[in-house]
Amino acid sequence: MGWSAGSLLLCVMVGCSPAAEGVCVEGSDTMVNLAQGWAENYHATHPEAIVQISGGGTGVGIASLIDGNCEIASASRKMKDKEVERVRTKRHEEPMEYIVGYDALAVYVHKDNPLDSISIEELAEVYGEGGRITRWSQLGIDPKLLHNDTIIRVSRQNSSGTYVYFREAVMGKTRDYKLGSIDQNGSVDVVALVANTPSAIGYSGMGYSMPGVKMLKISKHKAGVGIAPTVENAKKREGGYPITRPLLLYTAGPPKEKAKQLLDWILDKPGQKVVVELGYVPVAPYE
């Protein structure tokens, strides 16, 4: 798809330019690929549009929205109460939330790891503070197959919405991560590190799968049946994939004209089709 660099700016990880006349979408690293897909497809039918896309993490995007440096913050977690209050205090507006899709947060291991399924309880013991699972042999895996019995935990930086969501979904709101993980800045970085580290485990959006890794089935309890992270399983209200989260966009008050046009397009068939094409779950019809 052809586009002009002067009209479409994909500014990943460097922030949006406040001088640009257009719409800046900043925030969730999980959603950067999705936001880029929206921007490219939107520009194809709106060639005059300037859409800037920037990552950096959900917390970064929300902070930028609070400071007035972007029109739309992308988020892979809900706004915290203190962030809502800061929007009210600094922007004198009420934050508006838009659910634009759903994502199955996958747990990745190396492709040669024979583990096929893991429970929420076991994940909490792997990642949670005071957790007792530190070796693959505790999960029934022969350490010779991985060249190392020690579980190498790959995580995200604490400004990431994925970091916050995984902690709450797996460990609960009162338990923190244990120290000693290898923390990555981006979703793709987590998966790439696991692909190159036979004894590693990591979590990232299912849309970031790549050769060299496999996604584990997840069960709510140790004796439960594992559910694979697929679009179909993420759609299920009951008995579906247990670590499914909404993908969110936020504005400070009602969006201005250009931002509203983009949001309307995202929530309509063309934007939802991009959601599906990139491996996420739509919130509205896309055909």
pLDDT digits (tens, 9 = 90+) for 147-161: 899 999 999 999 899
Q: How many residues does the chain have?
A: 287
- The yes-or-no verdict on residue 7 having pLDDT over 60 is no
pTM score > 0.95 for this model? Answer: no
**Tokens, residue 219:** 């069960």
Separation of alpha carbons 57 and 68, rounded Å: 17
Q: Which residues are CB-contacts of 284 (< 8 A; sequence separation ≥ 6)?
A: 267, 268, 269, 272
Tell me which CATH code domain 8-102+247-277 carries. 3.40.190.10
**Residue limits of CATH 3.40.190.10 in the chain:** 8-102+247-277, 103-235
For 251, the enclosing helix (H) or strand (E) is: strand 244-252
Please give the structure tokens belonging to residue 169: 């979904």
Residue pair 58/77 in contact by the 8 Å Cβ criterion: yes
Whole-Å CA distances, 55 to 33, 72, 136, 254, 269: 9, 12, 34, 23, 25
Gyration radius from the chain CA atoms:
19
In the predicted structure, residue 2 carries a pLDDT above the cut 90: no
- What distance in Å separates the CA atoms of residue 85 and residue 83, rounded to the nearest whole number? 5
The whole-angstrom distance between residue 254's C-alpha and the CA centroid of its chain comes to 25
CATH of domain 103-235: 3.40.190.10
pLDDT at position 26 over 90: yes
Q: How far, in Å, CA of 202 to CA of 119, rounded? A: 14
Residue 16 has what pLDDT? 66
Pairing of strands 182-184, 152-156: parallel
pLDDT in tens, 37-62: 999 999 999 999 999 999 999 999 99
- Other C-beta atoms closer than 10 Å to the C-beta of 79 total 21
